Structure 1
Amino acid sequence: MPELPEVQALAERMTADCAGRTLTRLDVLSVQVLKTFDPPVHALHGQAVREVGRHGKFLDLATADGLHLVLHLARAGWIRHRTSFPDRPPARRPGHGPLALRLVLDDGSGFEVTEQGTTKRLAAYVVRDPQAVPGVARLGADPLGEEFTPAALAARTAGVRRRLKTLLTDQSVLAGIGNAYSDEILHAARLSPYALAAALDEEQLARLFTAVREVLTEALERARAVGAADALKAEKKAGLAVHGRAGERCPRCGDTVRSVNFADSSLQYCPTCQTGGRMLADRRLSRLLK
């Protein structure tokens, strides 16, 4: 799933490609993607694009007249810039193929929004105010924004008896961090994913704050340096220290990176760096042994 660094890099690339141009048409090729009906899709036609911004993991294409096309790429969505398109929109094929939306600009260029796989969670909203999108309205502090400070982090963890992994991926707490970067942040901070937020002392909170800032800032810098948007996913994977690297060596201490598997996700960690050498129980294996 694209997380804050990749979504921010996409927003900046899209702004460079379309700011000041007019959106000629928005083709909806997968009907389940569109989550709103008022304003209608055609209200965007003929609108000048002002910029593409970001709210957490949401992209926000804002027009000069105040309409917004808000996109959430979910787990398997992606956006590609195209220099040209056919004159006619393709026929709708609900449930067939990865193409979900097509945005065509006045110079013939534009963007294709795709979603791989059979589970379709990509979402598009046409709204007058991004806060009208439920997921945007629930977002917490942006980890790279001015509102995220050591004091703000302390306030969000004080008395909270939740595991750090769960807390970091809660979009109502911190907006934009997902499964991959939460693993990377906890590894950088040398904290167990199962540690309770309320139990962190002042020094651990300082490490966590620094890790959030540094991991996301470095990932964003790498994403901005990638030549093509299609290479962002590969660049993300190449820059990860523990996430998706179960069985490999920890780059800090050389211990073996371990994994805990859940029904539809997993986390990775280094026992030496994060849990005092202790192995965390694999919940999927525990269920099989019952």
Structure 2
Amino acid sequence: MPESPEVQALADELDERLRGRALTDVDVVEFRVTKTRARQPASLVGERVAAVTRHGKLLDVGFDGGAHLVVSLGRNGWARWAGGAGDADAPLPPTLVSFAFDGGSVLELTDSGGWVSLGCWVVDDPAEVPAVAKLGPDPADAGFTRADFDGAVAGRRKQVKAVLQDQESLAGIGNAYSDEILHRAKVSPVGHAAALSADDADRLFAATVGVIGGAVDARRGIPIDALKAAKVASMRAHGRAGEACPVCGDTIRDFSFASTTAQYCPTCQTGGEVLPLRGDGDGGGDGGDR
């Protein structure tokens, strides 16, 4: 799933390449992508791109006329330039919608999942998109503070990993970077946020800002077709099950979380406890909250 560092790098590349360019054609291959049925992406043809920005994990293409094309990449969505080389080791995911611009650039939005998770909205204000309106503070923002973090995390009767991934609490973090944050902070992913000690909270705040900010910096300037590989290569815990922990040497393990699998180090994070790997984990603790 694309997370804020990669979406920021995507937004930066699109802004550099498309700012000032006019949209000349739109081809919606999969109608389910369009979420504003009364306002189709084709209504933007003829307008020029003013800026491309990011809200959490969502992309925002603003046009001179005041409209915004907001894109949720969902679980398996991404973008590519038409005619790119792609990955020789994997088939190209299907294009669900494409946007042609003057100057010859064609941007394709893809989705490699078994169900359509990619979504596009055409709105006058990005806050008209519910997923944008509900976003919590973003750890990638320069103005993100300890007070923002404490407001999102402190006292929550919910597993820490679930809080980190809750977009209404903290914007932009998903399964991969929450694993990395918790590993760096040496915090158990399944402990409740309300049970964090003062030292735990200090380490978790520092890790959240450090991991996300460092990843944003590290992805800057990487071409969008290489961002996924760069993200995978940077991981120290996520996706490393069976490998040695780079901190203590213990074996990184899988555990079930919500509808997916995550990774952790027993020695660094759970006091040696091995977390269950099962098919019915709910990732939400006892279901309570504040």
TM-score (norm: length of structure 1) = 0.90
Give 1:1-290 correspondences, 5 Å limit.
1-82=1-82, 98-226=94-222, 228-262=223-257, 264-284=259-279
Distance 1:151 1:131 in 2: 23
Q: Which residue of 1 aligns with 2:287?
A: none
Identity of aligned pairs, percent? 48
Q: Give, in angstroms, the shift of residue 43 of structure 1.
A: 2.2
Q: Which residue of 2 aligns with 1:92?
A: none
Letter in 2 for 1:41: P
Q: Give, in angstroms, the shift of residue 117 of structure 1.
A: 3.1
Q: Give, in angstroms, the shift of residue 196 of structure 1.
A: 1.1
Letter in 1 for 2:135: L
Could you list the per-position Cα deviations for residues 141-181 of structure 1 after superposition, in whole angstroms to 9, with x for gaps in the alignment? 11122452112222222321111010000000001000000
Q: Give, in angstroms, the shift of residue 74 of structure 1.
A: 1.1
Greater displacement, 124-133 / 106-115? 106-115
Letter in 1 for 2:201: L
Could you list the per-position Cα deviations for residues 109-163 of structure 1 after superposition, in whole angstroms to 9, with x for gaps in the alignment? 1201111132111101111111111111111111122452112222222321111
Q: Give, in angstroms, the shift of residue 285 of structure 1.
A: 8.5
Aligned CA distance change for structure 1 residues 28 and 100 (closer, same or farther; 3 Å): same
- Describe the SS at the equivalent of 1:126: strand
Q: Give, in angstroms, the shift of residue 220 of structure 1.
A: 1.6
Distance 2:152 2:125 in 1: 27
Is the Cα–Cα contact under 8 Å of residues 26 and 101 in structure 1 kept in the other structure? yes
Letter in 2 for 1:25: D
Distance 1:12 1:217 in 2: 15
- Describe the SS at the equivalent of 1:283: coil
Distance 1:42 1:80 in 2: 19
Query: Unpaired runs of 5+ in structure 1?
Result: 85-96
Once superposed, which parts of structure 1, at least 4 consecutive aligned residues long, lie more than 4 Å away? none
Distance 1:267 1:150 in 2: 26
Aligned CA distance change for structure 1 residues 30 and 191 (closer, same or farther; 3 Å): same
Is the Cα–Cα contact under 8 Å of residues 70 and 125 in structure 1 kept in the other structure? yes
Distance 2:114 2:274 in 1: 34
Is the Cα–Cα contact under 8 Å of residues 35 and 125 in structure 1 kept in the other structure? yes
Distance 1:285 1:152 in 2: 32
Letter in 1 for 2:56: G
Distance 2:204 2:26 in 1: 42
Is the Cα–Cα contact under 8 Å of residues 140 and 216 in structure 2 kept in the other structure? no
Q: Which residue of 2 aligns with 1:90?
A: none
Letter in 2 for 1:23: L
- Describe the SS at the equivalent of 2:205: helix
Query: Unpaired runs of 5+ in structure 2?
Result: 85-92, 282-290
Q: Give, in angstroms, the shift of residue 202 of structure 1.
A: 2.1
Distance 1:154 1:8 in 2: 24
- Describe the SS at the equivalent of 1:284: coil
Aligned residues: 274
Distance 1:25 1:271 in 2: 52
Letter in 1 for 2:59: L
Is the Cα–Cα contact under 8 Å of residues 13 and 221 in structure 2 kept in the other structure? no
Distance 2:257 2:59 in 1: 28
- Describe the SS at the equivalent of 1:121: coil
Distance 1:185 1:250 in 2: 14
Is the Cα–Cα contact under 8 Å of residues 83 and 108 in structure 1 kept in the other structure? no
Is the Cα–Cα contact under 8 Å of residues 98 and 117 in structure 1 kept in the other structure? no
Q: Give, in angstroms, the shift of residue 280 of structure 1.
A: 1.3
